[in-house]
Homo-oligomer: A and B are copies of this chain.
Amino acid sequence: MIGIKSIASYVPVSGLDNYAQGAKFAKDEEFILGKIGSAFLPRMDAGQETSDLCVEAVNALFANNPQLDRQAIDVLIVVTQNGDEEGLPHTSAIVQDKLGLSTGVAAFDISLGCSGYVYGLYAIKGFMEATGLKNGLLVTADPYSKIVDPEDRNTTMLFGDAATATWMGEDATWQLGKAKFGTDGSGAPHLKVSDGVFFMNGRQVFNFALLKVPAHLRELLDDSGLNSEDIDAFCIHQGSAAIVDAVARRFEGEPEKFIKDMVETGNTVSSSIPLLLEKHMLDSSWKRVAISGFGVGLSWGSAIIHRP
């Protein structure tokens, strides 16, 4: 059984002071911390491409796991909707070359936004089990700085650039349990790119999250025969502080189990969940964690991960 062996990340050191951005739009510190949730928004350098963020995250993973030989990597999936250049070729091919991975690696990109890590976990596990491959990298990197208009108050205070790398393989500490997914393309216009610029209807996205995510987590727990007491932590997509708080309240379980940690990162799209897992789960004594990602598409996915 393929599971999660390790997670590492790359968060650019440079970035934007979000209080300064807030002041520009007459938003005070209470709004920036309480509603947005992020005092600082990391930004990749002008000379960096999406593939470079991926390479940094994977190199951090290799540094943390010296027993993992890079030539042993046989699968590489990059989750992104803001890949290198114009998306043809796929970013994962460029990452294969920049990392010096074997040319025997199976590589493809998955196009998903904030739900991408949950989908990606099952896509890479399934692909590896269906093909008999042994060491996979699930990489997330979706730098919204490429598409966010700095004059758009609905988006410029929200998003941060980051990348994560998850090592998937046998004898893993964390196994994947039940998962549920959903898609509603009728909501596609609420989050989209037009002429290179990202548009978000914040109210619609907030309502979608509040309507879908607590009920989806509840169904997932029911399907798994679990109660919220059986879950040590809920690591959901960090869309904004307001969304995490609202979902936690609406879930009617134990809201304090919903991890909120985005002060120094912002909304990092498909990287938000693995950033939480890396920081809060890997060294924990937790036994079972619920994850949920939701956003662009509209798309959502929730899953249980647990120690075997």
| Residue ranges of A at the interface with B (Cβ–Cβ < 8 Å) | 76, 81-83, 85-98, 101, 103-113, 116, 119, 122-123, 125-132, 147, 176, 178-186, 188, 191-196, 198, 296-299, 301
Contact A181:B110 (CB < 8 A) given known A88-B198, A89-B297, A131-B122: no
Can you sample 25 A-B contacts with CB below 8 Å? A81-B87, A85-B192, A86-B192, A88-B113, A88-B191, A88-B296, A89-B113, A89-B192, A90-B111, A91-B111, A92-B183, A93-B184, A93-B185, A97-B184, A97-B186, A97-B188, A104-B180, A104-B181, A106-B181, A106-B182, A108-B112, A108-B119, A108-B299, A109-B111, A122-B131
Give bound CA distance, A188 to B51, whole Å: 13
Q: Is the CB of A110 within 8 A of B107?
A: no
Query: What separation, in Å, do the CA atoms of A89 and B298 have in the docked complex?
Result: 8
Q: How many copies of this chain? A: 2
Q: Which 7 A-B pairs have the closest CB atoms?
A: A126-B126, A97-B185, A106-B181, A126-B130, A109-B111, A93-B297, A93-B185
Of all chain B residues, the one with the shortest Cβ separation from A184 is B103
Q: How far is the CA of A193 from the CA of B147 in the complex (A)?
A: 19
* Chain B residues, CB < 8 A from A191: 88-89
Assembly CA distance A9 to B60 (angstroms)? 44
| Min CB–CB distance A188 → chain B (angstroms) | 5
Interface of A is mostly: mixed
B95 A181 Cβ-Cβ under 8 A: no
Question: Cβ of A105: which chain B residues have Cβ within 8 Å of it?
Answer: 181-183
In Å, the complex CA distance between A196 and B89 comes to: 13
